[in-house]
Amino acid sequence: GAALGAGPVTPTIANADALYMTAGTDTQFTLTGGAFTNMVGTYEWYSDVRLTAADGSSTTMTPDSVSPLSLTVTIPGTTSTGNYTLQAVKGTNAASNPVAISVRPEVRIDRVTNNGETYTITGTGFGDTPPAGAEEYLNVQINGGVADVISWTETEIVASVSGYGAADEGDTITVNALFCNAGFEGSDPECIPDWT
């Protein structure tokens, strides 16, 4: 038992059910471990959750549910992309070991235009230009074939239709970006939120 005048027992995180989320969508994380709650006399301590960004700034959130061995918290979709740590905290000094999570950008195609020779694909979350040698995994596909990329930025990709005939409104375009994929068929964008 706790000694007279004892404070919160430091919680411990053994596991998290997920290590990343996609920006724009509220995501629930369940942490398992120990001492997320503890009694001191007649007072029960409950853990909150501290989300700390790479720059050191942090936000403390109230869990959706908490028990001695499990804690569930929802991280808002408005959280900026980047790497963070999650900790269970009680009071000002009892903080668990950190668990690293990532908030990935949403990969989305908003518009595809063609001039008969190139496709210009605009959207979000495409990331930086893929490094040399990564074309097998990070690429633009036209009707299933890998296209030659002329330019690639976070919000715009220009790809050649060379080898695929003239650009056609019925073509299927897929952007395979670092964090997930996005597809476009004809005039209908379709977001695919994870690897396929």
* Block residue for tokens 């050649």: 160
Q: What is the pTM (predicted TM-score) of this model?
A: 0.69
For residue 61, what pLDDT band results from cuts at 50, 70 and 90?
very high
**Dist. CA 58–CA 41, nearest whole Å:** 31
- How far is the CA of 47 from the CAs of 95, 102, 110, 140, 191, in angstroms? 9, 22, 41, 45, 36
In this structure, how many other beta carbons lie within 10 angstroms of the beta carbon of residue 94?
A: 18
Q: Residue 2's pLDDT is what?
A: 45
Contact 41, 25 (CB under 8 A): no
